[in-house]
Amino acid sequence: MIKKLIALLVIMLIFCTLAFAQETSSPQMSNIPLLNTFFENATIVDNPYVVGGVDMGSYDAFSTFKIGAKGGIPFGKNMQIGAQLDYVNFSYDSDVIDSQSGISDLLVVARNNWMMEKFLLTAGGKVTLPIGSEDVGAGNMDFGAFCSIRYPMSDMITLNGTLGLDFIEMGDDRETSLMLNFGSTYMINDKINALGELTMKTEFDFTQLMGGVDYNLSDKGRVRAGLGLGLDDGAPDLQLRAAYIMNIM
């Protein structure tokens, strides 16, 4: 209950901050995606890109390690198609359960942007192609839809809210999961942005707070790192992420 209250307070703080924020004549909108909703975020992609990264999570009875790649290709200024594939390892805190490793399913995401007068709206869909190993829970065709709104509070702070609906294959059944993500980017200087977000998924009892940093190395690339704190049983107690984004053109 306490964890749920903390999550609710964070959401209320975000919206209260938005309600009382001072308006500027034309604030600059950040184009930096958050960590948990990288593909779903309302951002404008100008160039093809690739991302290489690692992800480590710690649960009560096991830990996870992922290393993988993802990328995206824009079609004009509003449409983007992206894909992601990971190598996954599960290590259990038990001498009688062996570690499991394998390739994840291939995630494919397509989305389109609509630039409104004061905010950016994104909507799209995603599907997992069942090419992965059943040893790591892959081999399923899941699909879903999402929409996302990005609003510049000021030249330094940009808010992003994302709503998603996923249809997940679980054995012979298909379960429905609602995903909510609220976050913001804060520009510290021309190269460094702070990231903060709250993510909830109903089917997996997943609630997580995550904070991170995005550092712009050059026009060709940027590095990102994040630390997540689990607020519910389905989220890792602690999660670490690091990635490098490289623009191809």
Predicted confidence pLDDT, tens digits, the chain (249 residues): 455 555 555 655 555 555 455 444 567 788 899 999 999 998 988 899 999 999 999 999 899 999 999 999 999 889 999 999 999 999 998 878 889 999 999 999 999 999 988 899 999 999 999 999 999 989 999 999 999 999 998 889 999 999 999 999 987 888 999 999 999 999 999 999 999 999 999 988 899 999 999 999 988 899 999 999 999 989 999 999 999 999 987
Question: Closest Cα to residue 218, out of 186, 183, 247?
Answer: 247
Residue 43 to residue 34: CA distance in whole angstroms: 10
Residue 165 to residue 122: CA distance in whole angstroms: 14
CATH code matching the domain that covers 2-247, chosen among 2.40.160.40, 3.30.70.260, 1.10.3720.10, 2.60.40.10: 2.40.160.40
Residue 198 to residue 10: CA distance in whole angstroms: 8
Whole-structure pTM value: 0.88
3-class DSSP state of 4: helix
The residue ranges of every structural domain in the chain are 2-247
